[in-house]
């Protein structure tokens, strides 16, 4: 949590002036009971109207100055807390963009969304109230006790006993509440997960008539959140009545002892009123402090969760790449610290001429078995590599390892003979064009989406890429052509159109390595055939990886890799695998049964 305080470094003036003006306000407030005592003893009791008016004027002046100090403190505290939250949000978002796939999998989308929204809001509120009240409330509590000694020593001893009791109660509840609010936030994560799953998968839920089951699961998650919130709320709510009881009890004792001393002539009525006012100030400030502690407890829980995400696994390879990129942006040398503390240079990648897998294996965190195991192959410029296999065979895992999204657990992925973990991630991915399994378009226009592949692309380059992806025809039919609006997720285009636009976005870069991860699944065979011709033309001087479950999509490849449950079932050309690989033959003949008959007859 405290590691996040560095985001206040640009608001040093505000973090000093905010509490300072609050302490000035508190100082004027501590003078009010003394002015009231003088008004009662010297004005009302002696019927001195002039003294009453003068003391009234002083009270008004103290109120006006205190109000001005409070407004000023509010301004500085709000400026610092909002600026802090803005910087923190930027950092979290930037951090999410640079995290490795392993780290993304570890935390999950919903958790990171909660960190960016709910947790940051909690921390912002905590910073705001801390700057305003954390010093002010204790200052008034102890200041009131000290001022009480200036009025009457015997009466002030009640303050000495009351304040430690209150401190024990407040901090005991604080220690109980911190872990409780962490549980509340974890339960909130689960609710967000269920909400996101149902919003994104609503069509699937309805298709299988699972509405009732999903509602029940959601209710269970909300019930658990409610349970934790109620328990934490009850503990927090316990603070106010306890503090009221203690302070009111102390006030009763004070009134009783004060009445005895007034009767004996050792204390004036004005002094007793001053002591009661100081006790009332303590009560009010302790209520504020109690609420502040509850808020700080929530903020600390949220801040700890944010810090856990920001600083987790910062010694891993991807975090080192991020530091290296930050160093480059700042004009520093292109190097980064290794896990053993040594400095490892990051290799610049000017072009990708060759990719090699050497006995590569990878297992997802928490998985029982490897997704890719003992995989070795080599691909050079001009090669088209086809990857085929059943669902869950490791095809997409291979692609993620190839692009450097995951780091091999065993073996090495070599780019131009250099281990991929030593390559600069920005340089590497600048030479890779990838069309993911799920076609993703962003809100904007067709042209803006294409420029994700090349931000300075000309209109001519856009049309060329669209033609290679067989998307030119339907884009030309749109009223605004390249300026046609794309809604979030590209929902105003069909599945096939989205896939072709995503391919055009990758094609426009003219990458050294083109990766198509089952990106033609929504296309008919005729359109797919034309797309393959475009790919062959585009990759004459590049390496192309095509992942597909269709044998027709990859049968013309220079090298076919057949995966089965993470292991290599076969490797070679189409003709070689039909003879030597049972898994590939089964896939092919299931899609082309007429060829099976011919093979059997032959």
Same domain? 150 vs 275? yes
CATH number at residue 430: 3.40.50.300
User: What's the pLDDT at 322?
Assistant: 43
Give residue 111's pLDDT: 72
**Confidence (pLDDT) at 76:** 92
Q: Residue 304 is part of a domain; what is its CATH number?
A: 1.20.1560.10
Do 429 and 284 share a structural domain?
A: no
Cβ(515)–Cβ(432) below 8 Å: yes
Most confident residue range from 28-32, 199-203, 220-224, 307-311: 220-224
Asked whether residue 397 carries a pLDDT value surpassing 50, the answer given is yes
Q: What single DSSP character describes residue 338?
A: -
Cα dihedral across residues 265, 270, 273, 275: positive or negative: negative
Q: What is the pLDDT of residue 332?
A: 35
Give yes or no for residue 540 having a pLDDT over 70. Answer: yes
596 — pLDDT class (breaks 50, 70, 90): low
Domain limit, last residue, from 291, 311, 331: 311
pLDDT at 72: 92
Q: Considering the entire predicted model, what is its pTM?
A: 0.65
Q: How confident is the model at residue 91 (pLDDT cuts 50, 70, 90)?
A: confident
Q: Which of 311, 338, 357 is the last residue of a domain?
A: 311
Q: Express each pLDDT in 282-335 by its tens digit.
A: 878 877 877 787 788 778 777 877 887 777 655 444 444 443 444 444 333 344
Q: Is the same domain home to 489 and 387?
A: yes
pLDDT tens, position by position, 454-491: 888 888 888 888 888 888 888 888 888 888 888 888 88
Range of the domain at 67: 2-311
Q: What is the mean pLDDT of residues 410-427?
A: 84
Give the closest residue to 514 by CA, choosing from 436, 405, 462: 436
358 lies in some domain: no
List for the chain the helix, strand, coil content (%; round to 5): 65, 10, 20
- Asked whether the beta carbons of 389 and 436 are under 8 A apart, the reply is no
The residue written with tokens 């009111």 in the block is 248
Within this chain, do residues 247 and 389 fall inside the same structural domain, yes or no? Answer: no
| Alpha carbon separation from 51 to 28, 150, 438, 467 (Å, rounded) | 20, 22, 82, 93
CA torsion 433-435-436-441 (nearest 10°) is 110
SS (H, E, C) 485-551: EECHHHCCCCHHHHHHHHHHHHHCCCCCEEEEECCCCCCCHHHHHHHHHHHHHHCCCCEEEEEECCH
The confidence band for 496, taking pLDDT boundaries of 50, 70 and 90, is confident
In a domain, 445, yes or no: yes
* Residues 82 and 189 grouped into a single domain: yes
Instruction: Place 71 in a pLDDT band, splitting at 50, 70 and 90.
Output: very high
Q: Residue 79: is its pLDDT beyond 70?
A: yes
In a domain, 361, yes or no: no
Least confident of 16-30, 330-344, 434-448, 525-539: 330-344
Per the structure, the count of domains in the chain is 2
Query: What's residue 329's pLDDT?
Result: 41
**What's the pLDDT score for residue 343?**
38
How large is the average pLDDT for residues 194-213? 84
């Amino acid at each position: 949590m405290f590691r996040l305080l560095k985001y206040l470094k640009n608001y040093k003036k505000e973090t000093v002036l905010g509490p300072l003006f609050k302490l000035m306000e508190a100082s004027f407030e501590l003078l009010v009971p003394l002015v009231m005592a003088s008004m009662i003893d010297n004005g009302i009791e002696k019927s001195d109207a002039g003294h009453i008016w003068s003391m009234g004027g002083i009270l008004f002046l103290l109120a006006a100055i205190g109000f001005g100090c409070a407004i000023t403190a509010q301004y500085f505290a709000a400026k610092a807390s909002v600026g802090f939250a803005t910087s923190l949000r930027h950092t979290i978002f930037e951090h999410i963009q640079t995290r490795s796939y392993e780290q993304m999998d570890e935390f999950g989308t919903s958790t990171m969304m909660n960190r960016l929204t709910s947790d940051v809001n909690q921390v912002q509120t905590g910073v705001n109230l801390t700057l305003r009240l954390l010093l002010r409330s204790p200052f008034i509590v102890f200041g009131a006790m000290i001022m009480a000694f200036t009025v009457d020593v015997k009466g002030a001893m009640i303050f000495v006993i009351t304040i430690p009791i209150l401190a024990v109660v407040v901090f005991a509840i604080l220690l109980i509440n911190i872990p409780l609010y962490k549980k509340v936030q974890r339960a909130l994560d689960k609710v967000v997960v269920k909400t996101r799953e149902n919003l994104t998968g609503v069509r699937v839920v309805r298709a299988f008539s699972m509405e009732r089951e999903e509602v029940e699961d959601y209710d269970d998650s909300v019930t658990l959140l409610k349970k934790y919130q109620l328990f934490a709320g009850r503990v927090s709510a316990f603070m106010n009545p306890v503090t009221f009881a203690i302070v009111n009890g102390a006030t009763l004792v004070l009134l009783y002892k004060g009445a005895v001393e007034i009767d004996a002539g050792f204390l004036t009525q004005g002094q007793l009123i001053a002591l009661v006012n100081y006790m009332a100030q303590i009560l009010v400030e302790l209520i504020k402090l109690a609420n502040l502690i509850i808020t700080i407890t929530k903020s600390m829980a949220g801040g700890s969760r944010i810090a856990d995400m920001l600083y987790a696994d910062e010694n891993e390879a991807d975090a080192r790449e991020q530091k290296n990129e930050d160093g480059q942006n700042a004009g520093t040398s292109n190097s980064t610290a290794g896990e053993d503390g040594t400095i490892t240079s990051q290799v610049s990648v000017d072009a990708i001429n060759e990719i090699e897998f050497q006995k590569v294996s990878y297992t997802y965190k928490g998985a029982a078995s490897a997704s890719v195991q003992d995989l070795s192959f080599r691909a050079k410029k001009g090669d088209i590599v086809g990857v085929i296999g059943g669902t869950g065979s490791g095809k997409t895992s291979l692609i993620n390892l190839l692009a450097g999204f995951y780091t091999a657990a065993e073996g090495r992925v070599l780019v131009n003979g250099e281990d991929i973990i030593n390559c600069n991630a920005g340089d590497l991915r600048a030479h890779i064009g990838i069309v993911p399994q799920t076609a993703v378009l962003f809100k904007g226009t067709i042209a803006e989406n294409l420029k994700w592949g090349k931000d300075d692309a000309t209109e001519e380059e856009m049309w060329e890429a669209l033609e290679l992806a067989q998307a030119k025809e339907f884009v030309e039919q749109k009223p605004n052509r390249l300026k046609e609006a794309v809604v979030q997720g590209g929902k105003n285009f069909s599945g096939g159109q989205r896939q072709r636009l995503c391919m055009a976005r990758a094609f426009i870069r003219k990458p050294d390595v083109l990766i198509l991860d089952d990106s033609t699944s929504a296309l008919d065979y005729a359109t797919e055939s034309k797309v393959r011709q475009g790919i062959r033309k585009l990759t004459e001087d590049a390496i192309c990886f095509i992942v597909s479950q269709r044998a027709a999509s990859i049968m013309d490849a220079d090298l076919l890799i057949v995966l089965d449950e993470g292991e290599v079932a076969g490797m070679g050309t189409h003709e070689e695998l039909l003879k030597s690989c049972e898994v590939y033959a089964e896939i092919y003949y299931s899609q082309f049964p007429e060829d099976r008959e011919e093979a059997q007859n032959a």
